[in-house]
Amino acid sequence: MTPPNSTTQDPAAPHAVTHVPPGARSTIALLQRELERRWPGGLPNVDGVSRYALLPTGKLLRPLLVVESACAVGGTAEDVVAAALGLEYLHVGSLIHDDVIDGDATRRGRPTVAARYGTPEAIVAGDALIIGTFVAVTEHAGPGLSAERQLAVVHALSRAGVDLCRGEAMEAELCGDLGCGMDRYLEMIALKTGALFRGACRTGVLLGGGTPEQEHAVVEFAEHLGLAFQMSDDLLPHTSDGAASGKSPLSDVANGRPTFPVLMGHRLAGPAGRRRLEAALRGDTPAAEAHETVREVLESTGALEAAAERARSEAALAEACLSALPPSRSRDVLADVARGSVDRDR
Amino acid sequence: MTPPNSTTQDPAAPHAVTHVPPGARSTIALLQRELERRWPGGLPNVDGVSRYALLPTGKLLRPLLVVESACAVGGTAEDVVAAALGLEYLHVGSLIHDDVIDGDATRRGRPTVAARYGTPEAIVAGDALIIGTFVAVTEHAGPGLSAERQLAVVHALSRAGVDLCRGEAMEAELCGDLGCGMDRYLEMIALKTGALFRGACRTGVLLGGGTPEQEHAVVEFAEHLGLAFQMSDDLLPHTSDGAASGKSPLSDVANGRPTFPVLMGHRLAGPAGRRRLEAALRGDTPAAEAHETVREVLESTGALEAAAERARSEAALAEACLSALPPSRSRDVLADVARGSVDRDR
């Protein structure tokens, strides 16, 4: 059966549609309707390219966080939907550029923007979407939205966007360097993944009229969620379900990326295991052999279980932060998102 | 003698320092001091790359427009300097991406960011600067700056940024197409060049506390200035001083770009001349021959004089818009900028 929130043209992205908590379906439907309305077919030029990148949608996780954070503190989905879409523009714009940088030809089972339209078009469309974030967050002032709060959103989101760039640059720096250690990795994913999660949740609370205490709690929720989400994402290629989601178990190793389970293996291994992992990530050994080394060391050290346990613990910490909010459907959705972040195939 | 506003490390950019009206020197000095203070040497990661792109500076024309527009309507340079630098970030971020797209290895006599640091680093640094625009315009609220006006600035600047992207995409579409005609060209440069000029001037008037009438007048000034500036920029490779500014007379032709003088030649030429120009721009003839064809047709039709005349007329229209402002040093600077836009080598 097709879930009600699925987009029919995107059959190759199973985890993109199984990850939505049932309570979030109306929000996801609203976000998809609004995206379709704002980016209709037949747009010329860079707007047509942007539509291709936005629709059919991915999980819409970041805009969902905006809407549910807003609703959880007393706001309405309608008041914040434009800003919520702004988060999606920032995320998708940055993914378009990521794919140019990595030379990737497919995303979510379709040709990337660069593969479909060309690199120049992808760079310009990514720019337009990134800048479009700030058109979106300032375009709609609902009756309850003060200019001060909208301005605070622009400030928070632009800082989050710069942090995202810093995280991307840091990820490139860490490539091939297993000696960077877990702390640098955690710093990197707090920027690369955590920044937009924090920006999304802060946006929701600010526009929803939340208190500073609620803002603090929801941003802390987002921090733990970001960690849980990225740790879990790094684990995906190593799990039996990973292949179904389109993740190649080889690509991170081949790219020399020190991912969470590999760093965990490095921490848990003895000196010989460490040296083998380091050589594999530096590209000193053929790809198939490197992959086999990584698999062996992760298995013998119990790194996969340790990494999954840490991800679950971050998700639990995220959920615990939500006790600062009054009970509501939206709070339940946020809790479901936290639990779903470490259990992608529910 | 070195002009007081020059940056000592950038000897290869003569037109970058001869173009500053004498009355603007204190503003330019303020902008350069603030850039140095905000982007000190030794910054790590993407911030270090951004510094390389920002310093030594170019003409700082867009931030100058922000400051002088603000001061012309009663604001202060100190209150708007952060937002003014935001315009420079947007401009420079987009230039970094332009250079990636065009594969250019030098800009203002130095290696481009892509040539110096690599394409991935250039894409990410461009993103960080573009997003940093919105950090900058929201970071500083002077005593006279209302949140409503700052929000209006964010909206205007983000729309200008998206228009810039549309202009870039449109420019790519028009490549090799002389039949696009003058109207499409004017539409394209109003987006590609005009958008940030309008955004800069609107930002200044909004933050300087100007009236809606003043905003209207200064935005109209910016529109004509943008046309004059780009028309003149297109003419530069065809003038004797062009070589000194680092513009190759061949590159536009080689890239198939329908520039202002070439479109003027196409309009003024007979059917045979038109066919020759079209073939040259399509790349049907060897580069040297194409260049010679363009030179001949432009000379025989008087296109260069006609194009220069139109640019001067736009500059005069820009200057005329300033009569809506009270007399001031800043108004004089804006007038000087308009005159200087068509007379780059004063």
Q: Where are the domains of chain A?
A: 15-341
Is the Cβ of A101 closer than 8 Å to some Cβ of chain B?
A: yes
B168: which chain A residues are within 8 Å (Cβ-Cβ)? 46, 124
d(C-alpha A104, C-alpha A95), whole Å: 11
pLDDT at position B237 is: 87
Name the phi and psi angles at A139, rounded to 5: -85, -25
Is the Cβ of B11 closer than 8 Å to some Cβ of chain A?
A: no
Is the Cβ of A172 closer than 8 Å to some Cβ of chain B?
A: yes
CB-CB: which of A46, A157, A162 is closest to B128?
Answer: A162
CA distance B192 to chain A (A): 12
pLDDT at position A15 is: 40
pLDDT digits (tens, 9 = 90+) for A228-237: 999 999 999 8
pLDDT at position A284 is: 83
- Optimal mutation site among B123, B140, B150, interface A, most CBs of chain A within 10 A: B123
Nearest alpha-carbon partner for A240 in A286, A290, A308, A293: A308
d(C-alpha B214, C-alpha B324), whole Å: 7
b/e map of A59-82 (b: 16 or more CB within 10 Å)? bbbbbbbbbbbbbbbbbbbebbbb
CA distance B169 to chain A (A): 6
SS3 assignment for chain A: CCCCCCCCCCCCCHHHHHCCCHHHHHHHHHHHHHHHHHCCCCCCHHHHHHHHHHCCCCCCHHHHHHHHHHHHCCCCHHHHHHHHHHHHHHHHHHHHHHHHHHCCCEECCEECHHHHHCHHHHHHHHHHHHHHHHHHHHHCCCCCCCHHHHHHHHHHHHHHHHHHHHHHHHHHHHCCCHHHHHHHHHHHHHHHCHHHHHHHHHHHHHHHCCCHHHHHHHHHHHHHHHHHHHHHHHHHHHCCCCHHHCCCCCHHHHCCCCCHHHHHHHHHCCHHHHHHHHHHHHCCCCHHHHHHHHHHHHHHHCHHHHHHHHHHHHHHHHHHHHHHCCCCHHHHHHHHHHHHHCCCCC
- To the nearest whole number, what is the mean pLDDT of chain B? 89
Is the Cβ of A255 closer than 8 Å to some Cβ of chain B?
A: no
- Optimal mutation site among B38, B130, B191, interface A, most CBs of chain A within 10 A: B130
pLDDT at position A20 is: 76
B138: which chain A residues are within 8 Å (Cβ-Cβ)? 151, 154-155, 158
pLDDT digits (tens, 9 = 90+) for B257-282: 889 999 999 999 999 999 998 888 88
Is the Cβ of B187 closer than 8 Å to some Cβ of chain A?
A: no
Is the Cβ of A257 closer than 8 Å to some Cβ of chain B?
A: no
d(C-alpha A87, C-alpha A68), whole Å: 13
Question: Does residue B212 surpass a pLDDT of 50?
Answer: yes
Instruction: Decide if A159 and B135 are in contact by the 8 Å CB cutoff.
Output: yes
Rg (Cα) of chain B, in Å, rounded? 20
- Angle at CA A256, nearest 5°, toward A254 and A258? 125
pLDDT digits (tens, 9 = 90+) for B40-55: 999 999 999 999 999 9
Question: End-to-end alpha-carbon separation of chain A, Å?
Answer: 14
- Angle at CA A309, nearest 5°, toward A307 and A312? 110
Confidence of residue B141 (pLDDT cuts 50, 70, 90): low
d(C-alpha A344, C-alpha A149), whole Å: 34
pLDDT < 50: residue spans in chain A: 1-18, 346
d(C-alpha A63, C-alpha A51), whole Å: 16
CB-CB: which of A101, A119, A124 is closest to B168?
Answer: A124
Confidence of residue B305 (pLDDT cuts 50, 70, 90): very high
d(C-alpha B91, C-alpha B229), whole Å: 15
pLDDT at position B190 is: 97
Confidence of residue B109 (pLDDT cuts 50, 70, 90): very high
- To the nearest whole number, what is the mean pLDDT of chain A? 89
Question: Does residue B344 surpass a pLDDT of 80?
Answer: no
Question: Does residue B243 surpass a pLDDT of 90?
Answer: no
B121: which chain A residues are within 8 Å (Cβ-Cβ)? 169, 172
Question: Does residue B13 surpass a pLDDT of 80?
Answer: no
Could you write out the DSSP letters of every residue in B209-276? T--HHHHHHHHHHHHHHHHHHHHHHHHGGGSTTTGGGT--TTHHHHTT---HHHHHHHHHS-HHHHHH
b/e map of A227-238 (b: 16 or more CB within 10 Å)? bbbbbbbbbbbb
CB-CB: which of A45, A154, A162 is closest to B138?
Answer: A154
Question: Does residue B250 surpass a pLDDT of 80?
Answer: no
CA atoms within 13 A on the CB side of B247: 19
pLDDT at position A95 is: 98
B158: which chain A residues are within 8 Å (Cβ-Cβ)? 131-135, 138
Place of tokens 């990595």: A102
Question: Does residue B199 surpass a pLDDT of 80?
Answer: yes
Is the Cβ of B97 closer than 8 Å to some Cβ of chain A?
A: yes
pLDDT at position A346 is: 42
- Angle at CA A152, nearest 5°, toward A151 and A154? 65
- In CATH, the number for domain A15-341 is 1.10.600.10
Is the Cβ of B188 closer than 8 Å to some Cβ of chain A?
A: no
pLDDT at position A202 is: 98
pLDDT at position A9 is: 39
Number of H helices, E strands in chain B: 17, 2
pLDDT at position B78 is: 93
Question: Does residue B6 surpass a pLDDT of 60?
Answer: no
Is the Cβ of A169 closer than 8 Å to some Cβ of chain B?
A: yes
Task: Please give the ipTM for the structure prediction.
Answer: 0.92
A126: which chain B residues are within 8 Å (Cβ-Cβ)? 127
pLDDT at position B152 is: 94
Question: Does residue B10 surpass a pLDDT of 70?
Answer: no
- Optimal mutation site among B94, B119, B151, B163, interface A, most CBs of chain A within 10 A: B151
Instruction: Decide if A158 and B132 are in contact by the 8 Å CB cutoff.
Output: yes
- Using an 8 Å Cβ cutoff, are B94 and B130 in contact? yes
d(C-alpha A5, C-alpha A64), whole Å: 13
Mean pLDDT of B166-183: 89
pLDDT at position B36 is: 97
Question: Does residue B8 surpass a pLDDT of 70?
Answer: no
pLDDT at position B18 is: 43
Residue B122 burial (C-beta neighbours within 10 Å; 0-12, 13-18, 19+): buried
